[in-house]
Structure 1
Amino acid sequence: MTGERSDPHSIGEEDLEDFDSWTAQAALASLIDETLGSPAVTQLLARESLRTEVVREELFANETLLAKIRTLQDQVMAEGDRGFRPRNRAMSPREASWLVVAVLLGFAYLSLMTAAWAQLPLFFRIFAGLMMPCVLFATGALAVRKVTALREWTNPDAMQFHEEQFGLGPRRSFAAREIVLPEVRDVISAHRRLHFGTTLVFDQQHDLGEEDSSRIVPTAAAKRLRRVLERAGSGAVALGGQRGSGKTTAIRSIQRGLLHGSENPAPLVVVASAPATYDARDFVLHLHKLLCQAVLVRVRQVVGPGTGWRWWARRVLRGTVDLVVSATLGWAIGGLLWTGKFTHFPAELWQTVTGVQFPELIGPLWTDQPVSNRIALAAVAVLALRWVAKLLTATVGALVILLRRKSSAGPRALQAEARRQLLRIQYLLTYTTGWSGKLAVPAGGELGRTRTTQRAEQQLTHPEVVDEFRAFAQLTAESLREEGITDRVVVAIDELDKIGEQDKAQQLVNDIKGIFGVPGCLYFVAVSDDAVLSFEQRGLAVRDAFDSAFSEVVRLESFTLDESRLWIAQRLPGVPEQFCYLGHCLSGGLPRDLRRTTIDMVDVTTEHYEPSLSTVTSILVCTDLAAKSSGFIAQARGLPQTPELAELWPKLLRVPDTREAVELAELAASLHEGATPDLADAVNRLRLHSSAFVLFCATVLDMFTDALTQSRLTPSLHELAIARRRLALDPHLAWAALNDFRKAHDLPLPSRA
């Protein structure tokens, strides 16, 4: 078993010959056992009815996973103590209060036993002696349970070897969380329990309408982004891909820390959307403003809210009001229940309490008092204990705040600088200085002179704005790293691909690329497919703004068939595979369209109870036909009236009213009649687009029927998704691909009736 590799007694002579490899294998085995034993993974294994041994053996046979562990061991050895060390989490006032409470409980018990020991009978002395370890253990357990730092110290990572022998050092938790755990989830997903059937049923939908879901499909692009974030300290990376491929989702995942790919805290992420009509200077100022706001939020999370005199005054005022209310409430309850006069209750209570002598407490305060006095004493005691706890918490909290202020001087200096920069960006400051004088003369006249000087800070030019941003970004990155808050700043510019004209997009990149290259800052920019193409042509005699601005490009592709199936299965547990295939084919694997198609699929269940595959397919296809036919008709209206267009008009009008697969195939053939590969002719382009789309719908209706059994769910259905993608690129190629698909699956080729 793999667990034996982490056993020190299992080392043989053959292992000593290549001790580094054996150490990597032992570290991997220990990490696998630790990850598989976690509650979350255990729950996943139970849900999929998957044995732990199967996952363990497959993980240990993964050479790529072993290579990652060896690489991490080499990095730990090379870094030594020079690596980034996260800032220690400050103990909160609540945790410090629980620690003080635990200590006081133990001290109170020992003091009580010391004071009462001489008067205790032998039996109670033995009992008190036996209880002493239990009390000390209970107070220690209370402190460990309530204070995170103590819990982490007393419960280190489970391992048979010391960290130095595994070679992972302080990065062990990172290896378990960011290297082994994703692979465990991938294996579980690959072995997940599949459901088959032609009736749309599922357990419960999860995060279907939320774009910011934590359920990320491990695509090749996601893994590459993780590697980029792990290795790149600075630079500019272009995110390419067609519209709807998930560039915005990737940026949001980076912002939420789901892809930062490091054991360090998530980076400070600033996200800005590129404007359709832009001014480069204003856009850089906008980025500067967003960076200042992000710094203020992150520093506030680390050092806590401000504690100026206004904050202390509010706390004192709230405490005073609370004290007055508690005293009034105690007087009201006690005075009404006390046997004496209502107005004499405070004085009589004071005499009763001060007259008690330790250790005789129960008699004077309880057994010797009437029932009404007991209730009054109990109510006052509860209020008094509450206030003792509040005073203790307030005192400890004040000490923690004072100590924390001393250790957070650096972050607070950065916070002050961010406020100053933000104020400078938002307002144009005007300073006015001057003097005036008046002299009275004997004849009754007056002589006066006034002089005023105004100094208005002039607007910064674009180069000056860029320099100011670079200086503040570098200061932010250095300060956050020195303070152990995070090791980098990420600036993401989204929606640059939505600028319609390529020249304008290139001009924007040219104007703002001066902010790139700041040490400790990594930039991500969502660009169009044309920009990616120009980047890929950098080896040729082609060089443009994108090639000179970006050091790397990450292209987000459409989902594969397995990735689409996993995406739907994560959000609709228990859904039959037939519907996963349907969603993939209708969307072409494009993530945005896959979400929309899945939502439409779920909406069908609100009107039809457990609808069949044929019903769902018919409703989705008819909805798509109606939407696209409106677009075709609108496009035809904008074309000059020609005989070719007049012939095409009645065929286009038939599209939304055609429902059957056979009729759609015949209509597709009719629309395609006379078409040529020439896409320059608008009427011919409309003919190609409409005929290919109608044939695609007919093919989907032919394939996804109630007769689609498990044996017919083959990877060849992915060709339908490829044909859907080609509809947006080259409808002539899509038509040819659909004909090949129909021929391969024994479907009748389109022909006019």
Structure 2
Amino acid sequence: MTGEWSDPRAFDAGWLDDFASWTARAALESLVDEALAGPELAGALRRESLRATDVREGLLENESLLAKIRMLQDQVSAEGASGFRPRGRPVRVSELGWLLIPFVLEVGYLSLLQRAWDAMPVFLRIFAVLALPCGLVAAVARMSRRTPELRARFTSGPAEFGDEQLGLGRRRPFALREIVLPEARDFISAHRLLHYGTELVFEKQCELYEEATGDVVPTAAAKRLRRILERAGTGAIALGGQRGSGKTTAILSLQRGLIHGTENPAPLVVVAAAPANYDARDFVLHLHGLLCKAVLDLLWNELPPVRSWRSWLRRGARLSADLIGSAAVAWAIGGWLWDGSFTRFPIELGLLLRRIHFPDLIDPLWTDQPAGNRIALIVIVLLALRWTLKVLRIPIDVLLDAVQRKRSAGLLELEADARRQLDRIRYLQTHTSGWSGKLLFPGSADLGRTQSTQRAEQQLTHPEVVAEFRAFAQRTAGLLRGEGVTDRLVVAIDELDKIGEQEKAQQLVNDVKGIFGVPGCLYLVAVSDDAVLSFEQRGLAMRDAFDSAFSELVRLEPFTQDESRLWIAQRLPGVPEQFCHLGHCLSGGLPRDLRRVTIDMVDVTTELYQPSLSAVTSILLRAELTAKTSAFTGQARALEQTTELAQLWTKLLRIPETREAAELAALAAELHEGATHDLATPVNLLRHHSSAFVLFCATMLELFTDALTDDRLTPALHQLAVARRHLALDPHLAWSTLTDFRKAHDLALPE
């Protein structure tokens, strides 16, 4: 560490008055220096042309970051040696072998060198002495690389306190990964190198169709969801927000471990889509089956390979075949090289082995033998050494297999239980048993009797299905946490907001909320804006299914202007800021629409080379106007034909033909002419929708031109994104927002 806080021994006497603050500051500085030295931030600093000293100073001045470090120190002090400890990966035999083999080879080399020293010529002695340190260095290097990892696995208890820990103990990696690095990324993103220009150019395009591995925009909702995962062990959380606000993306990011804020392993996430037409019993069974599959997939990666008796038989057969093959190879090579008959080679080799006496091995096996015999003996020794290692490995494998079985007994039982549960869900099991007998008499007479019983497992009722799911989920959550495999279960029910009728959505929640409240299991449910409204009205003498089912609500708001700019800049590095603002205004900040607009902008570059801002804006809005005109005329076609509607119809047909911004603004005024505040009238509602949308397009065309310089990219442009969102909710409010914006920016008001 560097700086006045870097050396714990170099402190002023006055700092002793608040030793806790000093250690928190020193720990923060140590973590910041370590983060900035890492390849991730070093590459980001080079890419954004930022200095490490500036980022360092900015992070050290972050009082919120310092408070998080101090709270973590308090938690470490309070927990002591207790707390959740992740499950370590089992040690493989090959890892222990890499420690044992160098040691055995070196000892054998020294033993052979000692016994053969007198019989060795001078040049061979020199070679053997020079080879000895080389072998020692290679063995020590290999052992030093493997020993720390094995020592970390076998060491129990937290690391001892030292100056490098500064009160964080074994949670120092967590503090670096989950506290300092996210703040550093946010700081770099906020101070990133901005590009300005009116030509659409970018370095490359990244992950336009799906979320990148780590490029999750740190919105307020994402941070709150992370905090919920840190503190909530059970309960039901509602994910609210309008369509396209990113509820599904948040659930998928959670499933991939991108929204996770503890040092514990990421939760086991089960995602199910809510059906439009459902049966409550079948839906809970569907959730149960998905949970069983998720548990089996998780245990497939977590459980060590435990061999069954069939695998031991297969291994024995392979070893027998290998032994026969090795013996044949040894006989073939030895008989070809041995100074004697091919058929007599095994007999002569046996006689030779009988004549030698320990420790006199060099003369009969090497000195007194011709060159061909020496080579044959080397081949036989290598094959024998190979088979000795194979034979020695069998009892080691048996012992490790027994240890792994005992160590993973709970997980193996859970795996078997999950398979049984999945089979029970899939099939209606039928068991038939019986007996029959026949007694023959003289004269072809016989007497017989048969008896059989048949058992068919009856279908479980809905309460029984709920009880089975709760029991399995609770058992799974407790066992996985106890074994250190995962911290908790998360069951996410997506697309509930796509059920059009609010009553049906409430009924589904009522039917399945019996599975809520399982210890160690957290539920996330994507709900509609109506459900959010009913939840926020709790305590106002009205309760419904959503209010009684969910303990907390996380509302996903549309992107702010800075969040949209960051989202586009992450996927189109080097793109000018003018186009980032254009994407935000056209999408209204809705993540789904922002992705579509960004893809449309990229598609323009396939037709035009470095298109200008005016050209891109015109192309995108022209496509919007054409599509919306078809929608408006379709609505008009479904209405009762009147003189008022006929006049509006002719104006709607003029929308695709109007090219200039001023003409569009004038057409918007004509469409709005005669509009009233009564949105219940279909013609009047169509008049509001069409006029507001045309005025929005006219405003965008007038503003996003090649004359849009960087000094005009102000936060006031966010009002256009707000107006875009109002178009789908309240066209009258959208019209008012647009007229206020035009007035503030000296644009002609529609008359």
Normalising by structure 2, we get a TM-score of 0.90
1:688-703 matches, cutoff 5 A: 688-703=688-703
Deviation of residue 277 (structure 1)? 0.6
Q: Deviations over 1:10-33 (max 9, x none)?
A: 232211111111121122111111
Matching residue's letter, 2:739: N
Matching residue's letter, 2:170: P
Question: SS at the partner of 1:453?
Answer: strand
Which residue number corresponds to residue 95 of structure 2? 95
Which stretch of the first structure deviates more once superposed, 547-556 or 421-430? Answer: 421-430
Which residue number corresponds to residue 664 of structure 1? 664
Tell me how far apart the structure 1 counterparts of residues 273 and 144 of structure 2 sit (CA, whole Å): 46
Question: SS at the partner of 1:639?
Answer: coil
Which residue number corresponds to residue 244 of structure 2? 244
Tell me how far apart the structure 1 counterparts of residues 521 and 348 of structure 2 sit (CA, whole Å): 67
Question: SS at the partner of 1:657?
Answer: coil
Residue 235 to residue 647, structure 1, CA distance change in 2 (3 Å): same
Matching residue's letter, 2:98: W
Residue 532 to residue 361, structure 1, CA distance change in 2 (3 Å): farther
Tell me how far apart the structure 1 counterparts of residues 126 and 557 of structure 2 sit (CA, whole Å): 75
Residue 344 to residue 45, structure 1, CA distance change in 2 (3 Å): farther
Question: SS at the partner of 1:655?
Answer: coil
Q: 1:2–1:60: 8 Å Cα contact kept in structure 2?
A: no
Which residue number corresponds to residue 634 of structure 1? 634
Tell me how far apart the structure 2 counterparts of residues 187 and 532 of structure 1 sit (CA, whole Å): 33
Q: Deviations over 1:278-302 (max 9, x none)?
A: 1111111111111111111112211
Residue 369 to residue 466, structure 1, CA distance change in 2 (3 Å): same
Residue 633 to residue 460, structure 1, CA distance change in 2 (3 Å): same
Deviation of residue 710 (structure 1)? 1.3
Deviation of residue 66 (structure 1)? 1.2
Which residue number corresponds to residue 21 of structure 1? 21
Tell me how far apart the structure 1 counterparts of residues 342 and 529 of structure 2 sit (CA, whole Å): 84
Residue 245 to residue 344, structure 1, CA distance change in 2 (3 Å): farther
Question: SS at the partner of 2:9?
Answer: helix
Matching residue's letter, 2:593: D
Q: Deviations over 1:423-461 (max 9, x none)?
A: 111111112232333344555433333332222111111
Matching residue's letter, 2:734: A
Tell me how far apart the structure 2 counterparts of residues 353 and 557 of structure 1 sit (CA, whole Å): 87
Residue 444 to residue 363, structure 1, CA distance change in 2 (3 Å): closer
Residue 111 to residue 590, structure 1, CA distance change in 2 (3 Å): farther
Which stretch of the first structure deviates more once superposed, 90-99 or 115-124? Answer: 115-124
Deviation of residue 414 (structure 1)? 1.1
Which residue number corresponds to residue 143 of structure 1? 143
1:8 aligns with 2:11: no
Question: SS at the partner of 1:437?
Answer: strand
Q: 1:436–1:450: 8 Å Cα contact kept in structure 2?
A: yes
Which residue number corresponds to residue 62 of structure 2? 62
Which residue number corresponds to residue 625 of structure 1? 625
Question: SS at the partner of 2:655?
Answer: helix
Q: 1:268–1:294: 8 Å Cα contact kept in structure 2?
A: yes
Tell me how far apart the structure 1 counterparts of residues 385 and 611 of structure 2 sit (CA, whole Å): 62
Q: 2:339–2:372: 8 Å Cα contact kept in structure 1?
A: no
Which stretch of the first structure deviates more once superposed, 163-172 or 427-436? Answer: 163-172
Which stretch of the first structure deviates more once superposed, 123-132 or 693-702? Answer: 123-132
1:446 aligns with 2:457: no
Q: Deviations over 1:717-741 (max 9, x none)?
A: 1111111111111011111111111
Matching residue's letter, 1:63: E
Tell me how far apart the structure 1 counterparts of residues 639 and 571 of structure 2 sit (CA, whole Å): 43
Which residue number corresponds to residue 193 of structure 1? 193
Deviation of residue 103 (structure 1)? 3.3
Which residue number corresponds to residue 533 of structure 1? 533
Tell me how far apart the structure 2 counterparts of residues 452 and 409 of structure 1 sit (CA, whole Å): 38
Which stretch of the first structure deviates more once superposed, 317-326 or 64-73? Answer: 317-326
Q: Deviations over 1:336-386 (max 9, x none)?
A: 99799997798699799989996689998999469xx98x99999999998
Matching residue's letter, 1:574: G
Which residue number corresponds to residue 715 of structure 2? 715
Which residue number corresponds to residue 222 of structure 1? 222
Deviation of residue 132 (structure 1)? 5.5
Tell me how far apart the structure 2 counterparts of residues 319 and 628 of structure 1 sit (CA, whole Å): 73
Tell me how far apart the structure 2 counterparts of residues 19 and 228 of structure 1 sit (CA, whole Å): 31
Question: SS at the partner of 1:217?
Answer: coil
Which residue number corresponds to residue 576 of structure 1? 576
Which residue number corresponds to residue 31 of structure 1? 31
Which stretch of the first structure deviates more once superposed, 545-554 or 67-76? Answer: 67-76
Matching residue's letter, 1:258: L
Which residue number corresponds to residue 729 of structure 2? 729
1:543 aligns with 2:543: yes
Deviation of residue 316 (structure 1)? 5.0
Which stretch of the first structure deviates more once superposed, 418-427 or 132-141? Answer: 132-141
Q: Deviations over 1:566-592 (max 9, x none)?
A: 111111111111111111111111001
Tell me how far apart the structure 2 counterparts of residues 600 and 388 of structure 1 sit (CA, whole Å): 66
Tell me how far apart the structure 1 counterparts of residues 341 and 650 of structure 2 sit (CA, whole Å): 96
Which residue number corresponds to residue 503 of structure 1? 503
Which residue number corresponds to residue 74 of structure 1? 74
Q: 1:586–1:721: 8 Å Cα contact kept in structure 2?
A: yes
Question: SS at the partner of 2:70?
Answer: helix
Which residue number corresponds to residue 607 of structure 2? 607
Matching residue's letter, 2:727: L
Q: 1:217–1:567: 8 Å Cα contact kept in structure 2?
A: yes
Question: SS at the partner of 1:272?
Answer: strand
Question: SS at the partner of 1:277?
Answer: coil
Residue 119 to residue 161, structure 1, CA distance change in 2 (3 Å): farther
Residue 681 to residue 405, structure 1, CA distance change in 2 (3 Å): same
Which residue number corresponds to residue 45 of structure 1? 45
Q: Deviations over 1:495-539 (max 9, x none)?
A: 111111111111111111111111111111111111111111112
Question: SS at the partner of 1:166?
Answer: coil
Tell me how far apart the structure 2 counterparts of residues 4 and 352 of structure 1 sit (CA, whole Å): 80
Tell me how far apart the structure 1 counterparts of residues 682 and 402 of structure 2 sit (CA, whole Å): 74
Which residue number corresponds to residue 83 of structure 2? 83
Q: 1:246–1:592: 8 Å Cα contact kept in structure 2?
A: yes
Q: 2:161–2:167: 8 Å Cα contact kept in structure 1?
A: no
Tell me how far apart the structure 2 counterparts of residues 339 and 135 of structure 1 sit (CA, whole Å): 32
Which residue number corresponds to residue 749 of structure 2? 749
1:203 aligns with 2:203: yes
1:302 aligns with 2:321: no
Residue 108 to residue 618, structure 1, CA distance change in 2 (3 Å): farther
Residue 217 to residue 395, structure 1, CA distance change in 2 (3 Å): farther
Residue 618 to residue 394, structure 1, CA distance change in 2 (3 Å): farther
Tell me how far apart the structure 1 counterparts of residues 126 and 452 of structure 2 sit (CA, whole Å): 90
Normalising by structure 1, we get a TM-score of 0.90
Deviation of residue 83 (structure 1)? 1.2
Tell me how far apart the structure 2 counterparts of residues 669 and 392 of structure 1 sit (CA, whole Å): 91
Residue 196 to residue 377, structure 1, CA distance change in 2 (3 Å): farther
Which residue number corresponds to residue 567 of structure 1? 567
Which residue number corresponds to residue 738 of structure 2? 738
1:552-563 matches, cutoff 5 A: 552-563=552-563
Residue 46 to residue 94, structure 1, CA distance change in 2 (3 Å): farther
Tell me how far apart the structure 1 counterparts of residues 494 and 221 of structure 2 sit (CA, whole Å): 17
Q: Deviations over 1:152-171 (max 9, x none)?
A: 58999xx9971797222221
Q: Deviations over 1:70-113 (max 9, x none)?
A: 21122222223331111122123443343333333433443344
Which residue number corresponds to residue 290 of structure 2? 290
Which residue number corresponds to residue 404 of structure 2? 404
Which residue number corresponds to residue 687 of structure 2? 687
Q: 1:94–1:397: 8 Å Cα contact kept in structure 2?
A: no
Which stretch of the first structure deviates more once superposed, 694-703 or 548-557? Answer: 694-703
Question: SS at the partner of 1:492?
Answer: strand
| Paired residue total | 745
Question: SS at the partner of 2:5?
Answer: helix
Question: SS at the partner of 2:450?
Answer: strand
Q: 1:2–1:57: 8 Å Cα contact kept in structure 2?
A: no
Matching residue's letter, 1:174: F
Residue 366 to residue 709, structure 1, CA distance change in 2 (3 Å): farther
Tell me how far apart the structure 2 counterparts of residues 478 and 459 of structure 1 sit (CA, whole Å): 28
Which residue number corresponds to residue 650 of structure 1? 650
Deviation of residue 179 (structure 1)? 0.7
Q: RMSD of the alignment, in Å?
A: 3.6
Q: 1:335–1:341: 8 Å Cα contact kept in structure 2?
A: no
Question: SS at the partner of 1:641?
Answer: coil
